[in-house]
Amino acid sequence: MQTPGRTLKRLLLAAAASLLWAGAALAQSQSPAATAQEVASALPQGQLIGQGRLTVWGFQVYDARLWAATGFGAGGYASQPMALELAYLRAFDAVEVAKRSLQEMRRSAAISEAQAAQWTTELLRVIPDVRKGDRITGVHRPGVGAAFWVNGRASGEIRDAEFARLFFGIWLSPNTSEPQLRQALLAGAGE
């Protein structure tokens, strides 16, 4: 016959094992290696290269994940197909996102006011206001431009190779304002 203390101990061990199993199953279902459907279709040979979180002044902004084909090189990112997913951890107005994007793109190249106005219009066409939990995925198409998905649904393309080079450079250019995030995103890339 089991004592009440021994029975309680077995119940606690079983509950702990059950919680660990449930936690592992949840982590696997939310695994960063789980590729979004839009990435799988746009980049069939894509694999997760790296991931990181953007935190500004202690505020968590988004989680970023970068996919590319085997052989992706950090130095030639602008000439290679890739997909970058941002999973937002807070809400932002589309105008704020576009304004910040242009500000960051200007770190790598001079952009005229006319070009900035055109690209802002294009960004507002493909990127809506974002809420916490929204995912925006951009796919770089070298020599063509960029295609965008919001929460797994195609939202449009910006067919401008220079825009795409500078846009993905926000995260991948050596001139990025977030070198630690760049390093995390490129962790699995060659030089």
Instruction: Check which CATH number belongs to the domain holding 67 and give it.
Output: 3.50.70.10
Distance CA 20, CA 147 (A): 39
Which is more confident, 123 or 4? 123
pLDDT at 8: 36
Which is more confident, 12 or 172? 172
Residue 65 has pLDDT above 60, yes or no: yes
Question: Do 4 and 53 fall into the same domain?
Answer: no
67 touches 49 (CB < 8 A): yes
Question: Do 25 and 84 fall into the same domain?
Answer: no
Element (H, E) at 33: none
Q: Which has the minimum average pLDDT: 69-83, 89-103, 140-154?
A: 69-83
Q: 36 falls in which pLDDT band (50, 70, 90)?
A: confident
Residue 60 region, left (φ>0) first, then alpha (ψ -120 to 50), else beta? beta
Residue 115, in any domain of the structure: yes
CA dihedral sign, ordered 92, 42, 160, 106: positive
Question: Do 22 and 89 fall into the same domain?
Answer: no
Question: Do 13 and 91 fall into the same domain?
Answer: no
The rounded percent of the chain whose pLDDT value lies above 90 is 72
Per-residue pLDDT, averaged over 1-14, amounts to 43
Residue 191, in any domain of the structure: no
Q: 34 falls in which pLDDT band (50, 70, 90)?
A: low
Question: Do 16 and 96 fall into the same domain?
Answer: no
Question: Do 19 and 106 fall into the same domain?
Answer: no
pLDDT at 37: 86
**Closest to 182 (Cα-Cα) out of 142, 174, 140:** 174
Which is more confident, 119 or 75? 119
Distance CA 126, CA 140 (A): 14
Q: 70 falls in which pLDDT band (50, 70, 90)?
A: confident
Question: Do 24 and 47 fall into the same domain?
Answer: no
Question: Tell me: the pLDDT tens digits for 109-123?
Answer: 999 999 999 999 999
Residue at token pair 């649904």: 153
Which is more confident, 19 or 151? 151
Report the domain count for the chain. Answer: 2
Question: Do 108 and 142 fall into the same domain?
Answer: yes
Distance CA 123, CA 94 (A): 8
Domain range for 16 = 1-30
From the number of C-beta atoms within 10 Å of its C-beta (0-12, 13-18, 19+), residue 64 rates as: buried
